[in-house]
Amino acid sequence: MVFENTHEPIIDQATFDNVQRLRSRVKRRPDGWGYIHPLTGLVYCSDCGSKLYAHRIYNGKDMPTYVCGNASKPAGAIWKCTGHRIEATKLMTIIAETLKEIAKTAQEDEDAFAKKVNDALSARQTSEIKSQKKQLAKLRKRTAEIETLFKKIYEDNALGKLPDNRFNVLAAEYENEQEQLDREIPVLQSIIDAFNDGNERASRFIELVKRYRDFDEITVSMLNEFVEKIIVHERDIKYRPDSEQRIEIHLNFIGEFCPVEPEPISALTPAQEEEQRKLEERRERMRQNYLTRKANGKQKEYDERYKEKVRARYANARAALREEGAVIGANIYAPFVVASN
C-alpha cells in the first residue's frame, strides 16, 4: 500500500517526474559512437507508433538521422513501416526554436498565453475528448453487462442448464474481456481528467518556463521537462530529402501547441516550376544511368576498383568521429546551442 504526502519530500514532484522520464527514455548507448542524441526516446512514428531511432550514416560524417524502428522489418512483416527519415540536427533545431518562441510568448504576457492554451485545449476537447467520453461510457456499460452475464451463466451452471465445460469456456472469455476493460478504462479516464483544468496546466507550464533564463542552450533535461513526444510524419514524397514533412510537437502539460500560426505554403512561380521540372528530369536521368551501369556490370567494376580506397577513407573518418564521440559521451547532458536569429 502507498500512502502519499505523509512527510516533506526530498525533491519536488516536477523534478521527480522529469528524472523518471529521463530514466525511461534511453536504456543503452549506441555501439561504437559513445554518445546518445538528445532527442532519443522522444521521437515517434505517426503511422505505426514506434519510436524513431538515431542512425548514423557510416560514410565518415556524423550525420545522425532518425528512422522508424519498424522500417527495418522484413518485407511482409505485420508491423513493417516506412522510414519517416528526418535529420536529427534539423529536428533538434525545430524543437529548440519552437521552445524559444513558446517561452518568449509565455514570458511577455502570462494571461494572454494562459488564454491561448485554454482555447487550444478547448478546441481539442471538442474534437477528441467527446469521442473518448463516448468510448468510456461504452466500456463502462460493457463492464456492467459482463457482470450480469457472468451471474447468469453461474446460475445456469448451478441449476444444471449449462454444462461445466461450456461454463468454463464462457467464464474465461468474460474474465479476459473484463481484464482488458479494466486496463482501458483508467487510461481513458486519465486522458479525460487531464483536459478538465486548462488553467492549472497552463500555470504549471508557465512555472516551468520561469525556471530558465533563456533557451539558447537546450539540454537533455530541458527537453524531457518540456517535451512529451515528437511525432514525425512521412515525407510527402518518400525518399526525397527536399520534400515537405509534417512534425508534431507535444509539450508536457499543454499538449500540441503552436505559438504562431504557420504561414500558408505559396504556389510555385513559373520559373520555380521549370526549375523543379529540370531537377526531376536530371534525377530520373541519373537513376536510369545507374540502372544501365548495374545491368551491364560497369557499376560493379567501378565499385571493385575504388571500394578499398573508399573504405579506408571512411574508416579513418569514423575512427576520428568515435574518438570525438567518446569525449561527448562523457557528458550525455551537454547542451545543444541554438544559433541566434
Tell me, yes or no, whether 190 lies in a domain. Answer: yes
Give CA–CA dist 231/42, Å, rounded: 9
Please, which residues bridge with residue 51 across strands? 44
pLDDT by residue (tens digit) across 191-224? 677 665 556 777 778 888 888 877 778 888 888 8
Tell me, yes or no, whether 303 lies in a domain. Answer: no
Give Cβ neighbours of residue 33 (< 8 Å, ≥ 6 apart): 56, 321, 322, 325, 329
Identify the domain containing residue 249 by its residue range: 17-265+332-337
* Helices 110-124/198-210 angle, 10° precision: 140
What pTM, to 2 d.p., does this model score? Answer: 0.62
Tell me, yes or no, whether 280 lies in a domain. Answer: no
Q: What is the pLDDT of residue 340?
A: 46
In this prediction, the residues of the chain whose per-residue pLDDT falls under 70 are: 22, 24-35, 56-62, 76-77, 123-128, 191, 194-199, 239, 259-266, 321-341
Q: What is the pLDDT of residue 332?
A: 46
Q: What is the pLDDT of residue 330?
A: 44
Tell me, yes or no, whether 319 lies in a domain. Answer: no
Q: What is the pLDDT of residue 232?
A: 92
Tell me, yes or no, whether 301 lies in a domain. Answer: no
Tell me, yes or no, whether 295 lies in a domain. Answer: no
Tell me, yes or no, whether 197 lies in a domain. Answer: yes
Q: What is the pLDDT of residue 214?
A: 73
Please, which residues bridge with residue 52 across strands? 68
User: Which long-range CB contacts under 8 A does 254-258 form with residues at least 24 apart?
Assistant: 254/117, 254/120, 254/121, 254/201, 254/202, 254/205, 255/120, 255/121, 255/124, 255/228, 256/120, 256/124, 257/102, 257/117, 257/120
Total count of domains within the chain: 1
Q: Nearest-CA neighbor of 251 among 95, 39, 64, 73? A: 95
Tell me, yes or no, whether 4 lies in a domain. Answer: no
